[in-house]
Amino acid sequence: MADSALTEAERRFLRELNRLGVRYLLVGASAAVLQGANTATQDLDLWFEDVADPRIAEAARAAGGALLPGGIGLRPPMLGGDVLGDRFDVVVYMHGLRTFAEEYASANDVVVDGERLRILPLRRIIDSKRAAGRARDLAQIPALEEALAALESGSRRGS
């Protein structure tokens, strides 16, 4: 799987989300890496417009996985299963950001392994990590800011 960032089941899940019209954003470090940040992560953090949308579970089943409901106030829903794996994390709240709809409207599209993904812009990832204030989030900010500066420098040169 060296030539692919996603497993076949992960691609299938994302393809199904797109086909079914489920609105989601890839957020966090995985979205930052896709925008050039020199950081690492194992997880793919997905922020859904509505975690109760039954099409999310439908997409998970189509990929050989399942969506397990979260506990009220205890934990978010979980995506996984033997085939789908456990790299997807469901995000139910993003610190320091606007509503999902507002962030979705200004998100970026990228193609990964042939699948179109909607991702949170790097500047907004930085804002959220800063607002969360956790040590692991704050530790990533220098690498994210370096990547943002490179992106902005490149876009100014291309203008």
pLDDT in tens, 2-47: 467 899 999 999 999 999 999 999 999 999 999 999 988 889 999 9
pLDDT in tens, 68-125: 987 666 678 999 999 999 999 999 899 999 999 999 999 999 999 999 999 999 999 9
With cut-offs at 50, 70 and 90, classify the pLDDT of residue 159. low
Q: Where are the domains of the chain?
A: 8-152
Dihedral pair phi/psi, residue 6, rounded to 5°:
-120, 150
Give me the CATH code for the 8-152 domain, please: 3.30.460.40
Interatomic CA distance for residues 111 and 119, integer angstroms: 10
Interatomic CA distance for residues 159 and 63, integer angstroms: 41
The helix (run of H) or strand (run of E) holding residue 91 is strand 88-91
Token pair 């790299």 is at which residue? 87
